Amino acid sequence: MSEPAPRPWSVQEFFSWQEQQPERYELVGGVPVRLMAGARNVHDDIVVNLVAEFRTRLRGTPCRPFTGDGSVETLPGQIRRPDLGVDCGPRDPNGLSAAEPRLVVEVLSPSTRDFDAFDKLEEYKTLPSLAVILLVEPNAPEIALWHRDADGVWQRRLVTGLDGTIDLPEFGMTLALAEVYDGVAFPARPRLVSGTGD
Protein backbone atom coordinates (compact mmCIF):
# COMPACT_ATOMS: atom_id res chain seq x y z
CA MET A 1 0.00 0.00 0.00
CA SER A 2 1.46 3.37 -0.99
CA GLU A 3 2.12 6.18 1.45
CA PRO A 4 -0.32 9.11 1.28
CA ALA A 5 1.08 12.24 -0.33
CA PRO A 6 2.46 14.66 2.25
CA ARG A 7 0.31 17.66 3.07
CA PRO A 8 1.53 20.80 1.25
CA TRP A 9 3.22 23.31 3.54
CA SER A 10 1.85 26.81 3.96
CA VAL A 11 4.09 29.79 3.34
CA GLN A 12 4.12 30.51 7.08
CA GLU A 13 5.16 26.95 7.90
CA PHE A 14 7.88 27.12 5.28
CA PHE A 15 9.37 30.38 6.55
CA SER A 16 9.31 29.18 10.18
CA TRP A 17 11.17 26.02 9.14
CA GLN A 18 13.57 27.85 6.77
CA GLU A 19 14.79 30.12 9.58
CA GLN A 20 16.24 27.05 11.30
CA GLN A 21 18.06 25.74 8.22
CA PRO A 22 21.70 26.46 7.29
CA GLU A 23 20.92 26.39 3.54
CA ARG A 24 18.43 28.27 1.38
CA TYR A 25 15.25 26.66 0.09
CA GLU A 26 12.34 27.56 -2.17
CA LEU A 27 8.78 26.37 -1.60
CA VAL A 28 7.59 24.57 -4.73
CA GLY A 29 4.24 22.81 -4.89
CA GLY A 30 4.03 22.98 -1.10
CA VAL A 31 7.38 21.18 -0.64
CA PRO A 32 10.75 22.74 0.36
CA VAL A 33 13.36 22.43 -2.42
CA ARG A 34 17.03 23.09 -1.57
CA LEU A 35 18.80 25.57 -3.80
CA MET A 36 22.10 24.75 -5.47
CA ALA A 37 25.10 25.90 -3.46
CA GLY A 38 28.53 27.04 -4.58
CA ALA A 39 27.90 29.50 -7.39
CA ARG A 40 30.90 30.18 -9.63
CA ASN A 41 32.82 33.41 -9.06
CA VAL A 42 31.48 34.93 -12.28
CA HIS A 43 27.91 34.45 -11.05
CA ASP A 44 28.74 36.10 -7.73
CA ASP A 45 30.62 38.97 -9.42
CA ILE A 46 27.61 39.79 -11.59
CA VAL A 47 25.19 39.68 -8.63
CA VAL A 48 27.45 41.96 -6.56
CA ASN A 49 27.71 44.42 -9.49
CA LEU A 50 23.91 44.44 -9.85
CA VAL A 51 23.31 44.97 -6.14
CA ALA A 52 25.78 47.88 -6.09
CA GLU A 53 24.25 49.46 -9.20
CA PHE A 54 20.63 49.21 -8.06
CA ARG A 55 21.39 50.29 -4.48
CA THR A 56 23.22 53.38 -5.69
CA ARG A 57 20.67 54.33 -8.34
CA LEU A 58 17.57 53.69 -6.19
CA ARG A 59 18.80 55.53 -3.11
CA GLY A 60 16.17 58.06 -1.99
CA THR A 61 13.29 56.27 -3.78
CA PRO A 62 10.67 53.91 -2.28
CA CYS A 63 12.39 51.00 -4.07
CA ARG A 64 15.34 48.96 -2.85
CA PRO A 65 17.17 45.89 -4.10
CA PHE A 66 17.14 42.55 -2.31
CA THR A 67 19.36 39.51 -2.72
CA GLY A 68 18.75 35.77 -2.99
CA ASP A 69 18.17 35.68 0.76
CA GLY A 70 14.92 37.53 0.06
CA SER A 71 12.01 35.96 -1.77
CA VAL A 72 8.91 36.49 -3.87
CA GLU A 73 5.65 34.55 -3.81
CA THR A 74 5.08 33.76 -7.48
CA LEU A 75 2.04 31.48 -7.42
CA PRO A 76 -0.14 31.16 -4.31
CA GLY A 77 2.00 29.28 -1.77
CA GLN A 78 5.04 29.17 -4.07
CA ILE A 79 8.23 30.89 -2.86
CA ARG A 80 11.11 31.70 -5.23
CA ARG A 81 14.46 33.32 -4.52
CA PRO A 82 15.75 35.31 -7.52
CA ASP A 83 19.43 36.24 -7.58
CA LEU A 84 18.34 39.86 -7.19
CA GLY A 85 15.08 41.73 -7.04
CA VAL A 86 13.72 45.22 -6.50
CA ASP A 87 10.94 45.72 -3.96
CA CYS A 88 8.92 48.94 -4.11
CA GLY A 89 6.46 48.08 -1.33
CA PRO A 90 6.49 49.04 2.34
CA ARG A 91 9.60 47.60 4.01
CA ASP A 92 8.93 45.29 6.97
CA PRO A 93 12.27 44.82 8.77
CA ASN A 94 11.09 41.41 9.99
CA GLY A 95 9.49 40.38 6.70
CA LEU A 96 10.74 37.43 4.68
CA SER A 97 9.42 38.25 1.22
CA ALA A 98 9.08 41.26 -1.07
CA ALA A 99 5.93 43.30 -0.51
CA GLU A 100 5.77 44.66 -4.07
CA PRO A 101 8.42 43.10 -6.32
CA ARG A 102 8.89 45.23 -9.46
CA LEU A 103 12.00 43.59 -10.97
CA VAL A 104 13.70 40.20 -10.68
CA VAL A 105 17.05 39.04 -12.04
CA GLU A 106 18.31 35.51 -12.63
CA VAL A 107 21.96 34.97 -13.53
CA LEU A 108 21.90 31.78 -15.58
CA SER A 109 24.03 28.76 -14.81
CA PRO A 110 24.46 25.49 -16.74
CA SER A 111 22.59 23.47 -14.11
CA THR A 112 19.51 25.72 -13.92
CA ARG A 113 19.51 27.41 -17.33
CA ASP A 114 16.42 25.74 -18.82
CA PHE A 115 14.42 25.99 -15.62
CA ASP A 116 15.24 29.68 -15.03
CA ALA A 117 14.71 30.62 -18.69
CA PHE A 118 11.38 28.84 -19.09
CA ASP A 119 9.55 27.43 -16.04
CA LYS A 120 10.58 30.04 -13.47
CA LEU A 121 10.21 32.80 -16.05
CA GLU A 122 6.56 31.85 -16.58
CA GLU A 123 5.97 31.95 -12.81
CA TYR A 124 7.50 35.40 -12.55
CA LYS A 125 5.26 36.66 -15.36
CA THR A 126 2.18 35.90 -13.23
CA LEU A 127 3.18 38.47 -10.57
CA PRO A 128 0.90 41.50 -11.10
CA SER A 129 3.38 43.96 -9.55
CA LEU A 130 6.33 42.77 -11.64
CA ALA A 131 7.37 45.02 -14.54
CA VAL A 132 10.84 43.75 -15.51
CA ILE A 133 12.60 40.36 -15.64
CA LEU A 134 16.29 40.12 -16.54
CA LEU A 135 17.97 36.84 -17.50
CA VAL A 136 21.71 37.46 -17.41
CA GLU A 137 24.19 35.42 -19.45
CA PRO A 138 27.40 34.92 -17.44
CA ASN A 139 29.62 33.85 -20.35
CA ALA A 140 29.13 36.86 -22.64
CA PRO A 141 27.67 40.37 -22.34
CA GLU A 142 24.07 39.39 -23.11
CA ILE A 143 20.92 40.05 -21.12
CA ALA A 144 17.41 38.94 -22.07
CA LEU A 145 15.06 41.71 -21.00
CA TRP A 146 11.40 40.91 -20.42
CA HIS A 147 9.32 44.06 -19.97
CA ARG A 148 5.57 44.40 -19.40
CA ASP A 149 4.15 46.96 -21.86
CA ALA A 150 1.32 49.44 -21.27
CA ASP A 151 -1.23 46.77 -22.19
CA GLY A 152 0.23 44.31 -19.69
CA VAL A 153 1.78 42.12 -22.39
CA TRP A 154 5.31 40.82 -21.84
CA GLN A 155 7.81 41.81 -24.53
CA ARG A 156 11.30 40.32 -24.94
CA ARG A 157 14.45 42.03 -26.14
CA LEU A 158 18.02 40.72 -26.18
CA VAL A 159 20.63 43.35 -25.28
CA THR A 160 24.22 42.48 -26.21
CA GLY A 161 27.69 43.98 -25.99
CA LEU A 162 29.46 45.91 -23.27
CA ASP A 163 28.25 49.15 -24.85
CA GLY A 164 24.62 48.01 -24.52
CA THR A 165 22.15 49.64 -22.14
CA ILE A 166 18.77 48.73 -20.71
CA ASP A 167 16.31 51.55 -20.08
CA LEU A 168 14.34 51.05 -16.88
CA PRO A 169 11.89 53.99 -16.80
CA GLU A 170 10.02 52.39 -13.88
CA PHE A 171 13.06 53.21 -11.75
CA GLY A 172 14.24 56.34 -13.57
CA MET A 173 17.50 54.71 -14.58
CA THR A 174 19.47 53.11 -17.38
CA LEU A 175 21.44 49.94 -16.67
CA ALA A 176 24.73 49.73 -18.55
CA LEU A 177 26.00 46.26 -19.41
CA ALA A 178 29.53 47.54 -18.80
CA GLU A 179 28.54 48.01 -15.13
CA VAL A 180 26.79 44.64 -14.89
CA TYR A 181 29.89 42.86 -16.23
CA ASP A 182 32.52 45.07 -14.57
CA GLY A 183 35.58 42.92 -13.81
CA VAL A 184 34.15 39.83 -15.52
CA ALA A 185 36.42 37.87 -17.87
CA PHE A 186 34.42 35.91 -20.41
CA PRO A 187 35.46 32.27 -20.90
CA ALA A 188 35.40 30.57 -24.27
CA ARG A 189 32.29 28.51 -23.61
CA PRO A 190 28.71 28.37 -24.96
CA ARG A 191 26.35 31.20 -24.17
CA LEU A 192 23.18 30.42 -22.22
CA VAL A 193 20.77 33.27 -23.01
CA SER A 194 20.65 33.28 -26.82
CA GLY A 195 18.70 30.06 -27.14
CA THR A 196 15.77 31.20 -24.99
CA GLY A 197 12.53 31.55 -26.88
CA ASP A 198 10.18 34.47 -27.03
What confidence tens digit (pLDDT) does each residue in 53-104 have?
999 999 999 999 999 889 999 988 899 999 999 999 998 888 889 999 999 9
What pLDDT score was predicted for residue 39? 63
Determine the number of helices (DSSP H) and then strands (DSSP E) in the chain.
5, 12
Rounded mean pLDDT, 115-134: 85
Q: Is residue 178 a contact partner of residue 162, using CB atoms and an 8 Å limit?
A: yes
Q: Is the pLDDT of residue 132 over 90?
A: yes
Give the span between the Cα atoms of 123 and 84, in whole angstroms: 16
Question: Rounded to an integer, what distance in angstroms lies between the CA atom of residue 105 and that of residue 107?
Answer: 7
Residue 75's identity, in one-letter code, is L
- Choice between 156 and 75, residue whose per-residue pLDDT is larger: 156
168: buried, middle or exposed (CB in 10 Å: 19+, 13-18, 0-12)? buried
Please say if the pLDDT value at position 25 is more than 90.
no
CA nearest neighbour of 131 among 179, 96, 166: 166
Instruction: Say which range, 21-35, 39-53, 152-166, has the weakest mean pLDDT.
Output: 21-35
Among 23-37, 74-88, 132-146, 159-173, the range scoring the smallest mean pLDDT is 23-37
Instruction: Look at residue 102 in the predicted model and tell me its pLDDT.
Output: 97
Amino acid 114: pLDDT: 46
The per-residue pLDDT for 28 is 82
- Report pLDDT for 9: 84
**Residue 196 · residue 144 · CB < 8 Å:** yes
